[in-house]
Structure 1
Amino acid sequence: MSDLDGAEVVDSIFTTAQDLQIADRRIGGGALYPSVAHYLTQQIGPQLMSPSHGVSVPRLFAAAASVTEIAGWMAHDSGNDANARRYFDRAFRLAMAGDDRALAANSCASMAHLAIELRQPHDAVRIAVEGLGQATAAYGTSRLVARLHTMRARGLALIGDRAGCSKALEDAESILDEATAEQPAQWIAAFDEASLASEAALCFLQLAELDEAERRAREVIRLRSGDRVRSRTFAQLTLANVLVHAGRVDEAAAIGHEACSTTVSLSSARVVHQLRALGGVLSLAPRSRQVSSFLAALAGLSATSGEHNGAVSSWPV
């Protein structure tokens, strides 16, 4: 990258970020995480310390924030939530340094998501609200605003605020419906109808509204195809958990078995962790043919990266 000048530096980072996102959706972040961490250290880090002649420093900071956030998601997918949190923190600070409020809001959405995964719902709601404040002051952020409302909904569902969760989901749906023709701000993560349905399914599962949770999970499975393997697999696992709660154990086991066959093409500790959690529940169920078949498939999965959820002192917002 040192032989590039001016805008070429940022364009190169932008192209790399797009390529990483496409590969991440197809094969999962586990396999890509080391190379992204190396890219940040060896390519982007020197530019931040000594930018190439003619480069726009604010755009450089924004580009660096985008790739840093991607690294955070890959760390999360690898099971290393402590590193994911550090990357999201750094991405937020880089976005603020680059005076890119849309990208700062995007980082807030990622931090709120991680806070939910870490069972910190009050932090998740607070961070999502901060993100909404950043996003509404920027252009091209309607889909991001919808995403932030769904993060509020997830946090409120964990707290047990049924009315607040429903209102946040309604806000997200209304905003997303109006965002179809909008050109999104640069670097903002994609958020579409399937993304919303995926988060809504988890909200309704948390609130024990199983019929609606099942409907939303099946909607994601219908909408996700092609290279969106990981998203579809997560939806299958959500659906399997809904079916377990509904007492439909054999159906859950059949879906879990299907997810196992997909997992061999992914490098995602999160997927494997959720599969094993499902296996732990189904191991207590009567051993039908479907349950036995799923547990055998689960036992055949190769070991993946362990989880390293070391503590980080505080969120940056």
Structure 2
Amino acid sequence: MQRIPVRFGAELRRRRIEAGLSLGELASLICFSKGHLSKIERGVKAPSHDLAQLCDSALHADGQLSTLISAPEHSTPAAPMTEADVGTPWTLRMQAGGESDFMAFDPASSGGGVMPTTIVSWSLAPPLLESGETNSALPYFRNVFDEFRRLGQLFGPSVVAQLCIAATSALRGMAHQAQPAHRDLVLRLASRFAEYTGWMAQEAGSDAASLWWTEQAVQLAADGGDDELAAYALIRRAELALYTGDSVATVQLARRAAQQARSVRIRGLAAQREAQGHALVGDRDACRRALDRGAELTAGAVAPDGTDPVLGSIHLPDLTAFVAGWCMHDLGSPAEAVTLLGDGLEAIPPESRRARARYGARLALALANVGEIEQACAIAELVASHVALIDSATIRADLLRLSRALNRWPKNPTVRRTLPHLAIGLHTHRAGPGTPA
């Protein structure tokens, strides 16, 4: 049974009275019903994290109310039942030296603890490359990486991760055969494939696999003479902490990334992640300082030379405004979030489904919390249709918050039409891969 945090209700009532607000006036400010707030103050109903953030902002409590309740849950819906796979099972073992072994098995021979019968096996030897061949192959792999990134905007990790893993293995094998002058370039490109695989693992909902692949990326990059990816890996770890509601780890990891990074871009991304950590606990001043620092750094960042793929998001046209809007919403200022996010959704190309869903989920959540229900629902249906295709655990967490926000208007006909669409988006999750053996 859920424990009702009575202390929150008493503190909310005390601060409301000190601010000279009636129950109805506060309810109007935060777009909740007077009856709902009355139950919160009397300890009859548990407050949501979103309500606490809105009250913090309205009463200038600087996050004190949010600290009285537990961090928001980011639960993942259970995977739906599916029919058994009747196709031929196969496996591809990829070794560090570039060798690979492919085996296909007879599905009729499996079961009962007996090893299945092998139908076909195929051993792939590592490539034998002449001088200069490795360097001439790299532009093709670089184009493949860019295509995989675009593919990741259209489809889920179950499609993209397998391709990235195979490409990482192929490049890792090529590095053993490459001339010293080209080996570093091969390893650095392999590290980018591995890092993107880690991102796909996080999107699939497997934090353990995400951390494992990110560490592989750091090692490959370091072997290729690139230590900057280690700093970016801290930003990725901070993001994982952010989605679990761990504000302390988010801020600490982001600060470590900023101290370790050499490039202005990575320091700017670290500052933005730090701002999100501060917003999570309602520290408005620290959040704004970090946002200003991030905006200054990213504005002054030198355009990448194109040698290595850019780390971080490349599909949001204005990442600074997006992060600021995210922070304002988490600080309990959804109206500021709506202003910052504005018409940015239209600037994202239609083929960038993942970016549009991420941006749209945050915009719809802010719109719902300022009472713009019709517009929030229109964007929510778009987000739900995208999530069903791209299978994103991180966006699904925002979708869950959006669904809860819209449920405050259960009799609104538009909300009643939209909620089933959100339910479909929330229940299309398929479990991601576990940590590799």
Q: TM-score, normalised by structure 2?
A: 0.62
What displacement does 1:183 show? 3.9
* Pairing of 1:87-106 with structure 2 (within 5 A): 87-106=213-232
CA distance in 2, matches of 1:196, 1:90: 29
What displacement does 1:185 show? 6.4
What displacement does 1:193 show? 5.2
Q: Give the aligned partner of residue 129 of structure 1.
A: 255
CA distance in 2, matches of 1:185, 1:220: 29
Aligned 8 A contact 2:234 2:256 in 1: yes
Q: Give the aligned partner of residue 277 of structure 2.
A: 155
What displacement does 1:109 show? 2.5
Q: Give the aligned partner of residue 112 of structure 2.
A: none
What displacement does 1:66 show? 1.0
Q: Does 1:246 align with 2:393?
A: no
AA aligned to 1:121 is S
Moved more, 84-93 or 191-200: 191-200
Moved more, 279-288 or 203-212: 279-288
Distance 1:211 1:276, change over 3 A: closer
CA distance in 2, matches of 1:73, 1:51: 28
* Pairing of 1:81-92 with structure 2 (within 5 A): 81-92=207-218
Q: Does 1:26 align with 2:154?
A: yes
Q: Give the aligned partner of residue 64 of structure 2.
A: none
* Pairing of 1:270-285 with structure 2 (within 5 A): 270-285=394-409
CA distance in 2, matches of 1:225, 1:291: 27
What displacement does 1:233 show? 1.6
Aligned 8 A contact 1:150 1:169 in 2: yes
CA distance in 2, matches of 1:182, 1:94: 20
AA aligned to 2:324 is A
Q: Give the aligned partner of residue 429 of structure 2.
A: 304
AA aligned to 2:173 is P
Distance 1:38 1:2, change over 3 A: same
Name the one with the larger helix percent.
1
Q: Give the aligned partner of residue 299 of structure 2.
A: 177
AA aligned to 2:229 is L
* Pairing of 1:220-259 with structure 2 (within 5 A): 220-259=344-383
Q: Give the aligned partner of residue 171 of structure 2.
A: 44
Distance 1:120 1:55, change over 3 A: farther
Q: Give the aligned partner of residue 288 of structure 1.
A: 412
Distance 1:181 1:276, change over 3 A: closer
Distance 1:92 1:182, change over 3 A: closer
CA distance in 2, matches of 1:211, 1:152: 22
List per-residue Cα deviations over 1:55-80 (Å, max 9, x = no partner): 63333332222111100111111222
Task: Report the 3-state secondary structure (helix = DSSP H, G, I; strand = E; otherwise coil) of the residue aligned with 2:159.
Answer: coil
The partner residue of 1:2 within 123, 127, 151 is: 127
What displacement does 1:160 show? 3.1
Q: Give the aligned partner of residue 207 of structure 1.
A: 331
Distance 1:143 1:238, change over 3 A: same
CA distance in 2, matches of 1:193, 1:170: 18
Aligned 8 A contact 1:194 1:223 in 2: no
AA aligned to 1:96 is A
Name the one with the larger strand percent.
2
Alignment length, in residue pairs? 304
What displacement does 1:93 show? 3.0
The partner residue of 1:187 within 309, 317, 338 is: 309
List per-residue Cα deviations over 1:16-70 (Å, max 9, x = no partner): 22221122123344431222233334x234345x343456333333222211110
What displacement does 1:81 show? 1.9
AA aligned to 1:206 is D
What displacement does 1:167 show? 0.9
The unaligned stretches of length 5 or more in structure 1 are 311-317
Q: Give the aligned partner of residue 110 of structure 1.
A: 236
Task: Report the 3-state secondary structure (helix = DSSP H, G, I; strand = E; otherwise coil) of the residue aligned with 1:84.
Answer: helix
Task: Report the 3-state secondary structure (helix = DSSP H, G, I; strand = E; otherwise coil) of the residue aligned with 1:6.
Answer: helix
List per-residue Cα deviations over 1:140-174 (Å, max 9, x = no partner): x3333321210111112224322111011111212
CA distance in 2, matches of 1:103, 1:185: 14
Aligned 8 A contact 1:103 1:187 in 2: no
Q: Does 1:167 align with 2:293?
A: no
CA distance in 2, matches of 1:62, 1:307: 26
RMSD across aligned C-alpha pairs, in angstroms? 2.9
Distance 1:100 1:53, change over 3 A: closer
Q: Give the aligned partner of residue 21 of structure 2.
A: none
Question: Which protein shows a greater Rg?
Answer: 2
CA distance in 1, matches of 2:274, 2:317: 17
AA aligned to 1:130 is R
What displacement does 1:97 show? 3.3
How many percent of aligned residue pairs carry the same amino acid? Answer: 21
